[in-house]
Amino acid sequence: MIAIIIILLAVLGTALGSFFNVLIYRLPRKESIIFPLSHCGECGKAIPPYLNIPIISYIMLGGKCKYCQARIHWHHLLVEIITPLILIGLFLQYGLFSLLFLKYAVMAMFLIPIFFIDAFHQIIPHKLSLPLIPLGLLFAFLPGGDVGIIEALVSAGIIFAFLVFLAYAYRLAKKADGIGGGDIWLLTAIAGFFGLLSMPYVVLMAALLGIIYFLIFVRDKSKGFAFGTFIAFTAVSWALLGAVKLVEKLPFL
Ligand SMILES: [Zn+2]
């Protein structure tokens, strides 16, 4: 039974990953996500369905467009691999018929495109970050969750107010934007999903990973880095680890 569920989640995940690749390409370019159908970003030729099979097509075509030989970026393959892995990981952590599986699967399905779009373009599309806020509150409202509706509302409110205050203080002090609006919406949404207790850990871990990445990989230090990418990564890891429940059990709280 478990094997069948894993196979089904793998198929669903690769299909979703394929859709996320469309989002990752089109949302930052403000293109429609439905029309036109899949096409090569270089030569514009439509990609027929038999060449649009997740993972398999990429490998068979050697990561190149069939018509113009333009390289298809490796992240396409990565997205189609990690999406099913995350779904299977959440299933193993929470079980299939639990609210928590559904809750964190939905959260991850928004965070995967956010991870890549912020990494490539340093923006977090509002079309992805804003719907996550009511979704988190909806899951808090339903029975069987890990964070109650009051806690979710208070957590999201506190994180939002704190970040807005921080953004204004930074702007006053440095005359430049420190925290982007997209980061504020994203962290507000995640606070609704995780509750307040998890937030210091999530923010610190994301910041730490971001700083390590910045110091090692970013040559041009005057450039900022995509904080949303690290927030998304940390939040999905947090859900995979079942850390919301673990944090509540810490002895000093
Ligand atoms: Zn092409």
Q: Is the pLDDT of residue 20 over 90?
A: yes
Q: What are the pLDDT digits (tens) for 163-177?
A: 999 989 988 888 777
| CA 84 to ligand 1 centroid distance, Å | 27
| CA 85 to ligand 1 centroid distance, Å | 29
| CA 253 to ligand 1 centroid distance, Å | 56
CB 232 within 8 Å of CB 215: no
- Give the bridge partners for 71, in sequence order: 64
pTM of the model: 0.93
3-state secondary structure of 85: helix
3-state secondary structure of 56: helix
Query: Which residues are CB-neighbours of 44 under 8 A, at least 6 positions away?
Result: none
Mean pLDDT of the chain: 91
Q: What are the pLDDT digits (tens) for 27-69?
A: 999 888 877 778 888 888 888 888 888 899 999 999 999 899 9
Max distance between CA atoms of the chain, in angstroms, equals: 61
Instruction: Give 253's pLDDT tier (boundaries 50, 70, 90).
Output: low
| CA 250 to ligand 1 centroid distance, Å | 53
Q: Is the pLDDT of residue 195 over 90?
A: yes
| CA 162 to ligand 1 centroid distance, Å | 47
Q: State residue 31's pLDDT score.
A: 87
- How far is Cα 128 from Cα 112, in angstroms, rounded to an integer? 10
CB 191 within 8 Å of CB 137: no
| CA 47 to ligand 1 centroid distance, Å | 9
CB 248 within 8 Å of CB 192: no
| CA 36 to ligand 1 centroid distance, Å | 15
